[in-house]
Chain A
Amino acid sequence: MKRLLHLSFIMLGLTALSASPAFAEEPGVAEKVIHLAYSIDTFYFLISGALVMWMAAGFAMLEAGLVRSKNTVEILTKNVALYAIACIMYMFVGYNIMYGGGPNSFIPGFSFLLGPDNAVDDVLKSGGEIYYSGMADFFFQVVFVATAMSIVSGAVAERMKLWTFLLFAIVLTGFIYPVEGYWKWGGGFLDSLGFSDFAGSGVVHLCGASAALAGVLLLGPRKGKYEGGKVKAIPGANLPLATLGTFILWLGWFGFNGGSELIISTIEESNAVSMVFVNTNMAAAGGLVAALLLSQVWFGKADLTMALNGALAGLVAITAEPLTPTPLVATIVGVIGGLLVVPSIVFMDKARIDDPVGAISVHGVVGIWGLIAVAFTNPDGSLAAQLTGIGVIFAWVFGTSFVVWSILKAVMGIRVSEEEELEGVDIGECGLEAYPEFTMKK
């Protein structure tokens, strides 16, 4: 979410208009142009936000597909509830912490609830400097925080207590995420440092993965994942759902990255948004093909789940800079993401970091790659600033998350009982089964 200090294209437009005698006779036209540009940019923002909202469905389907059927209802409950919690917390405090300014570039301000939207007169007087609705901005931002939290649910799936998870969601979406968001997109010290993160490889994806890693380390692996010192695969129950989820995420990502250009109402900006769409799509394609080929060569079989992770890896990788690369370079950024995610998943398994959906690899490891890639694909990128940003975001989110998870673990426990885990958390936590009419169980 590049905070473009809006080059006042409308002002330029006004100069041009007043120079033209035909328009000079009609002073209302200049105002109409401001109205139109404002509504086009607001419309584009709202639609982008709605696409990103749909990513919540993508995560829900992906995760429901990659867990066992006995844990389906619970993972869906977590996904819908975390989305709702993220929306409420971000309205209460999160948005203001992130974008409300602060006493200095490290400490954000603190206030409650949203202010009023832009007054018509103010927009007109600004000559187009204020170019979209404040409520549209909130809406676009709120779906991003939900995305960060969705990343966590997949990694801790099949064994974490429902209510512990949801309490953590309150803290992450209301405080942990908005603070690091302030440091970058709210104009804090990471921004001044030259750290570049277009749509959130770091602010959103690395954030979610860091919180997930802290949770997984305190939680431990699923029962049966490691037997006799060997890694045992626990296949997901429904790969059509996982595939649908990946396609939904892929679609939503056009809003995620495309919307982060923040403006579309000029020819240059329309071209830029189009470039972002194309590059986002190319990176996903590159990531998918790379991961599919690698799994065929390495494991001897074309592993669909790795291909899906590869597409997501490509998307995460390009998110830090989807504008400046050419489509070919964007494809290569995605390919490298896809080539990284497969060994990363295998390594995490071996390191006993049990992540059923590969979220830490897709969003964390590849998020870091995406941020580093900016130094090579964006002429204004600086490797030092990127590395600093990676270190700061990881340290802050991992550190605070570890403390919060630890407190939750001490107070209410984070893991379901062994019996409940074997029986499935659907019955234990939600009292429902996803497929109650099936009588055969594996």
Chain B
Amino acid sequence: MKIMEDKMKKVEAIIKPFKLDALKEAFSGLGLHGMTVSEVKGFGRQKGHKEVYRGAEYVVDFIPKVKVEIVANDEQIEQIIETIIEAVKTGKIGDGKIFVLPVETVCRIRTGERDKDAI
């Protein structure tokens, strides 16, 4: 079976939106082949926060974040994690999290190439 011969992983980082540019800059030296970015909302330890509108309170339950997804070869993963931490860390609550997941296979739609060739 060809799958998993070349090990790949996906890094998902939830970061503060204003740190996205810094992260993109930091990645430029790593030779990554692509990344996917989406605007997301959620809560972690930071929880929601209260705001006042026209004198009445309301709770913002879900805080806006940016999710960055990168698929890379196994040996690059540690470097990617370090780069992310270095680029986006502020030391304050709400800096976000990084998840690393195994990737079964990758396929480039245009050519049908698989796995390492497709990254």
Residues of A within 8 A of B (CB): 230-235, 295, 298-301, 303, 305-306, 342, 345-346, 349, 358
Chain B: interface size category: under 10
Which residue on chain B has the smallest CB distance to residue A349?
Answer: B56
The docked-state distance in angstroms from the alpha carbon of A232 to that of B58 is: 6
Could you write out 28 A-B pairs with CB less than 8 Å apart? A230-B57, A231-B56, A232-B58, A233-B51, A233-B52, A233-B53, A233-B54, A233-B56, A233-B57, A234-B53, A234-B58, A235-B53, A235-B58, A298-B55, A299-B52, A300-B52, A301-B52, A303-B52, A303-B55, A305-B53, A305-B54, A306-B55, A345-B54, A345-B55, A346-B54, A349-B54, A349-B56, A358-B54
A290: shortest Cβ distance to chain B, in Å?
Answer: 15
The docked-state distance in angstroms from the alpha carbon of A303 to that of B51 is: 11
Q: Is the interface of B mostly helix, strand, loop or mixed?
A: strand
Contact between B55 and A299 (Cβ–Cβ < 8 Å)? yes
* CB-based closest 9 A-B pairs: A233-B53, A233-B56, A233-B58, A346-B55, A231-B56, A299-B52, A235-B53, A305-B54, A349-B56
Q: Which interface residue of A233, A295, A301 has the most chain B CB atoms within 10 A?
A: A233
Contact between A303 and B53 (Cβ–Cβ < 8 Å)? yes
Instruction: Mark interface residues in B44-82 (1 if CB within 8 Å of A CB, else 0).
Output: 000000011111111000000000000000000000000
Other A-B pairs, 20, CB within 8 Å; known A299-B52, A301-B51, A305-B54: A230-B57, A231-B56, A231-B57, A232-B56, A233-B57, A233-B58, A234-B53, A234-B58, A295-B55, A298-B55, A301-B52, A303-B52, A303-B53, A305-B53, A342-B55, A345-B54, A346-B54, A346-B56, A349-B56, A358-B54
Give the residues in chain B near A233, CB-CB below 8 Å.
Answer: 51-54, 56-58
B1: shortest Cβ distance to chain A, in Å?
Answer: 38
Contact between A306 and B56 (Cβ–Cβ < 8 Å)? no
- CB neighbors of A among B18-57 (8 A): 51-57
A24: shortest Cβ distance to chain B, in Å?
Answer: 67
A258: shortest Cβ distance to chain B, in Å?
Answer: 31
Which residue on chain B has the smallest CB distance to residue A305?
Answer: B54
The docked-state distance in angstroms from the alpha carbon of A305 to that of B55 is: 10
Which residue on chain B has the smallest CB distance to residue A345?
Answer: B54
A298: shortest Cβ distance to chain B, in Å?
Answer: 7
Which residue on chain B has the smallest CB distance to residue A343?
Answer: B55
Which residue on chain A has the smallest CB distance to residue B50?
Answer: A233
Contact between B55 and A349 (Cβ–Cβ < 8 Å)? yes
A422: shortest Cβ distance to chain B, in Å?
Answer: 17
Which residue on chain B has the smallest CB distance to residue A225?
Answer: B56
Give the residues in chain A near B53, CB-CB below 8 Å.
Answer: 233-235, 303, 305
Q: Which interface residue of B51, B52, B54, B57 has the most chain A CB atoms within 10 A?
A: B54
B113: shortest Cβ distance to chain A, in Å?
Answer: 31
Give the residues in chain B near A305, CB-CB below 8 Å.
Answer: 53-54
A353: shortest Cβ distance to chain B, in Å?
Answer: 13
Give the residues in chain B near A299, CB-CB below 8 Å.
Answer: 52, 55
Give the residues in chain B near A306, CB-CB below 8 Å.
Answer: 54-55
B70: shortest Cβ distance to chain A, in Å?
Answer: 24
Contact between B54 and A303 (Cβ–Cβ < 8 Å)? yes
A69: shortest Cβ distance to chain B, in Å?
Answer: 16
The docked-state distance in angstroms from the alpha carbon of A300 to that of B57 is: 12
Give the residues in chain B near A231, CB-CB below 8 Å.
Answer: 56-57
B39: shortest Cβ distance to chain A, in Å?
Answer: 9
The docked-state distance in angstroms from the alpha carbon of A295 to that of B51 is: 13
Give the residues in chain B near A301, CB-CB below 8 Å.
Answer: 51-52
Give the residues in chain A near B57, CB-CB below 8 Å.
Answer: 230-233
The docked-state distance in angstroms from the alpha carbon of A345 to that of B56 is: 10
Give the residues in chain A near B55, CB-CB below 8 Å.
Answer: 295, 298-299, 303, 306, 342, 345-346, 349
B54: shortest Cβ distance to chain A, in Å?
Answer: 6
Which residue on chain B has the smallest CB distance to residue A230?
Answer: B57
The docked-state distance in angstroms from the alpha carbon of A231 to that of B57 is: 7
Which residue on chain A has the smallest CB distance to residue B59?
Answer: A232
The docked-state distance in angstroms from the alpha carbon of A298 to that of B57 is: 13
B66: shortest Cβ distance to chain A, in Å?
Answer: 15
B56: shortest Cβ distance to chain A, in Å?
Answer: 4
A305: shortest Cβ distance to chain B, in Å?
Answer: 6
Q: Which interface residue of B52, B55, B58 has the most chain A CB atoms within 10 A?
A: B55
The docked-state distance in angstroms from the alpha carbon of A417 to that of B40 is: 32
Which residue on chain A has the smallest CB distance to residue B57?
Answer: A233
The docked-state distance in angstroms from the alpha carbon of A139 to that of B8 is: 74
The docked-state distance in angstroms from the alpha carbon of A402 to that of B51 is: 36
Which residue on chain A has the smallest CB distance to residue B60?
Answer: A235
